[in-house]
Structure 1
Amino acid sequence: MSRHVLITSAQLSLEFQAARRALGLTQADIGARIGLSQSRVSHLELHPEQLSAEQLLAWCAVLGLELSIGKRGTAASAPAATDW
């Protein structure tokens, strides 16, 4: 999966759905892995602005996604192993 710059929660919604489907996971699968019901996963997929930071990070982990934060307009780069 390629990297995407997300500006809106609607974009996050589409990314979550695409990643979940690409992995062959159902909403119930996601819910079971992060402790939410299927109906709550469905709601949050459509309204990701309501995710807590903890849920956002857990959801990304389940989908194999990485969350990066940086100044707009700069290229994100992965830290070298020695940076840790």
Structure 2
Amino acid sequence: MANPQKEHGFTPIANELLEAIYSAKFNSTQLKIALFILRYTYGFSRKEHKLSLNFISRGIGVSRRYVSHELKTLINADVVTVVSKHTDTEARV
């Protein structure tokens, strides 16, 4: 990240959403998860996307177990919405 420029890619985030994120009382892992989800949804012009715990875990450098715990916290707080349940072969959103 020596010279980050918009021309090299960016994630458009609505101001209201960004303000809600920086105003929330997230711990560092919850913030990483929220930003990661934004990157793989809004960053690719999507409103939802299937993301596995392993994918999130590898992406933010936090153990799968802790990601699972903190993601449940975000879901219970209505920060993250589960659109479809995960199965053994598919990730949840």
Does the pair score TM above 0.5?
Answer: no
Judging by fraction of residues, say which structure has more helix.
Answer: 1
Give the TM-score range, shorter chain.
0.3 to 0.5
Q: TM (normalized to structure 2)?
A: 0.31
TM-score by length of 1: 0.33
